Structure 1
Amino acid sequence: MLHAAVRFYDRIPVLVRLLFIILLILTSFSFILHVLEPGAFPTFFDAVWWAVVTSTTVGYGDFVPKTMTGRIFAMILILFGIGFVLFFVTNLASSTVTEQHRWQKGTLPSSFCGHYIIANWNERSRQFIEQIQRAYPNRSVLLIDDQLVESPFHNSRRLQFIKGSPTLQSVLRHANIRQARALVITSGLEGTEQQADAQTILTLLTAKHYSGDIYTAAEILTSDQLPNARHAGADEIIASNMISSLLMTESLEQQGIAETITLLLDVEASPYLRSIPCPEEWIGKTFKEIGCLAPSRGILPIGISGENKTTLHPDKENVLQEDQSLLVLESSR
């Protein structure tokens, strides 16, 4: 029993230990002075009040011990109590400064839950974080990067930086990936595109091994690595170079197509494109029937997604299945 208590005490943070010792000293001396001098300290609370103002060097003088024994105990409280109080305040200030420094340097483990994790810092990461803050202001975002010297975020409780490589389980553990909502892996800036894709796939494998349920979206630059990213467990693959080339190609013949696609994906634009699970009452209905029911919900169905396949403008007689999702245009968020 004693050994268990000692082990429990050893696991308690130093500041909590100090606070416990201070409270024990104050209540003990308060009880002793209340018992020794009930006339000078009519109630236990009066004795506690005196002990607090004495140990913090305030000393109002409204309650004072009268007897020699009481004054001896008061001197002991002044010598020990003030020392412990000052030590506690000094350590509290030091711990606050240290924690802020660790937060800025990216060495403080995260306590976020339901947050987005984004791997690697670049212009896409910055824009992604800005979009998340505008669309979901209450969502926390955590950045993992091993090139940054300190956090690019300032004075934000919903943004945190963890320094390290996202390919390491220890770094993902500090990012609290098992409590995260999703992991987004952007391509690093170092090396060639092939090297960046290899790093992305290694990050995918590490994340899926450590937290198999985490939803992952990975940016892949080269078409050769798309199958490997799927095998690595990517739930969503963003072929950024392919998307850019498609937009540039179509923009040559269809002016305004790039702007249209951008507006459909903009979280602040209306209407916007989104994917929704199939409503239970729509399962088994044809796409034509869904098209008649959807306007009452303020949405316009444009496609069906399921089994790693997306079909835009499907056949009107296509029957919606339980495991499928609808791609819709919605007028308001």
Structure 2
Amino acid sequence: MYCADWVKILLLAIIRLIKRALMKLAQRRIVSILILFLTFAIVNGTLFHYFEVINGPQKNLTYFQSIYWAIVTMATVGYGDIVPQTFAGYIIASLTIVLGIAVFTLLVSTIAEAFLRQSLRRYMGLVKLKHVDVVVVGASEICREAIDELRNSGRGYRIAWVLEERPRAPPEDIDFVVGNPLDEDTLIRAGIKSAKHLIICILDDSATIHIALMAKRLNKNLKIAAIAKSNKTKELLEEAGVSIVVPLRIIGRELASAVFEPSVTLFVDEVTSSRGIADLIEVPIDHNLSGMTPEEVVKGLEHRDRAHRYVPLMLVKDSGDRIAAPDSGTKLKSGDKLVVLKAKRNTE
């Protein structure tokens, strides 16, 4: 078993080296053909200038115009504003057309092939993403709901979605990466090294712990939110540096509330979605808001947003202590966070 693992690791390393070599070769091919095209243009333009201008009748043409003629001719445009007038010029023009068609066609087809290959890799989820804000790992409906909430938050997050296979109907504005989320290379392709947040919505505790540890090793400043099926997993994830751990037992609380206080369940469902008439938002207290009261903060929010009412529900102190329904006279300090209910005003 140990030997088989080493063989697997070796094969993966060889495949990665081949991929990188092919990509570099494709890039060098475009550059090589472009250099060849420009070289032919300079040589043919110089010959045209020599026979048509220096030793020919077109004394009014500059060297730049001769190069321009060569490029236009090789690109098969042929404006006709500059034409050869000597026998040598006709020969050079003929060679320029024949060589130009071959080289220019090769250049265009190579560039088109590179774009097509990149588009196909993006379609298959094989590209390496950059400038990602949030990485979401998992293929469950929980992940889709998390992505929808991020999209509807209005904060312009760039999201990378990591799945083991291509989704049937991926959102048009979401980039996805196909691969094994337990593989470090998959997370790197998803942009985990520069991302600010990671959401792990896999219902497998061991996989969740593995991904969290690997992600933290790749990006120490990463903020992670994850699901835990058991209390033990919750403790391990918190010890691993996961910022927020959502236990599955919270679903049990929701189901119980649906029996003896269904309105509470409806309220929680409403305020945890940005698509309804109400939403829970977090207001970070910075130096501008420090020293103010929750009531003053809420009045400032309502002054800027006339379409909504704001109600302070909880104060999370910088120390981590939580105060439900804080008094209106409570002085806020820098680093605190105020959880506020944002509700649409009734216009009736």
Question: Is the structural similarity TM-score above 0.5?
Answer: yes
Instruction: Measure, in 2, the Cα distance between the counterparts of 1:294 and 1:248.
Output: 32
Q: 2:76, 2:100 within 8 Å by CA — same for their partners in 1?
A: no
Matched, 1:160 2:178: no
Unaligned runs of 5+ in 1: 1-8, 189-195
Instruction: Measure, in 2, the Cα distance between the counterparts of 1:170 and 1:72.
Output: 56
Q: 1:107, 1:163 within 8 Å by CA — same for their partners in 2?
A: yes
Partner amino acid for 1:269? Answer: G
Matched, 1:254 2:235: no
Matched, 1:327 2:333: no
Q: 1:151, 1:160 within 8 Å by CA — same for their partners in 2?
A: no
Q: Partner residue of 2:316?
A: 305
Question: The residue matched to 1:311 in structure 2 has which SS?
Answer: strand
Matched, 1:216 2:224: yes
Q: 1:151, 1:161 within 8 Å by CA — same for their partners in 2?
A: no
Partner amino acid for 2:299? Answer: P
1:122-201 equivalences in 2 (<5 Å): 122-136=140-154, 138-146=156-164, 148-149=165-166, 152-153=169-170, 156=172, 158-188=173-203, 196-201=204-209
Q: CA deviation at 1:125?
A: 1.6
Matched, 1:50 2:69: yes
For residues 302-333 of structure 1, the C-alpha deviation after alignment (integer angstroms, 9 at most, x for no partner) is: 1122444433224677654433211112346x
Q: 1:182, 1:216 within 8 Å by CA — same for their partners in 2?
A: yes
Q: CA deviation at 1:244?
A: 1.3
For residues 215-270 of structure 1, the C-alpha deviation after alignment (integer angstroms, 9 at most, x for no partner) is: 1111112222110110111111122x222111111222212211111111211234
Question: The residue matched to 1:330 in structure 2 has which SS?
Answer: strand
Instruction: Measure, in 2, the Cα distance between the counterparts of 1:86 and 1:281.
Output: 61
Instruction: Measure, in 2, the Cα distance between the counterparts of 1:296 and 1:59.
Output: 66
Alignment partner of 1:203 out of 208, 211, 228: 211
For residues 190-229 of structure 1, the C-alpha deviation after alignment (integer angstroms, 9 at most, x for no partner) is: xxxxxx0110111000000000111111111222211011
Q: Partner residue of 1:117?
A: 135
TM-score by length of 2: 0.78
Matched, 1:63 2:85: no
Partner amino acid for 1:153? Answer: P
TM-score by length of 1: 0.81
Instruction: Measure, in 1, the Cα distance between the counterparts of 2:107 and 2:168.
Output: 29
Q: Partner residue of 2:281?
A: 274
Q: 2:132, 2:159 within 8 Å by CA — same for their partners in 1?
A: no
Unaligned runs of 5+ in 2: 1-23, 303-309
The percent identity for this pair of structures is 20
For residues 124-153 of structure 1, the C-alpha deviation after alignment (integer angstroms, 9 at most, x for no partner) is: 12222223223337432111122x146742
Q: 1:270, 1:331 within 8 Å by CA — same for their partners in 2?
A: yes
Alignment partner of 2:105 out of 86, 90, 95: 86
Instruction: Measure, in 1, the Cα distance between the counterparts of 2:322 and 2:300.
Output: 24
Distance verdict in 2 for CA 1:123–1:70, change over 3 Å: same
Instruction: Measure, in 2, the Cα distance between the counterparts of 1:110 and 1:201.
Output: 24
Instruction: Measure, in 1, the Cα distance between the counterparts of 2:265 and 2:334.
Output: 33
Instruction: Measure, in 2, the Cα distance between the counterparts of 1:131 and 1:328.
Output: 17
Question: The residue matched to 1:66 in structure 2 has which SS?
Answer: coil
Q: Partner residue of 2:39?
A: 24
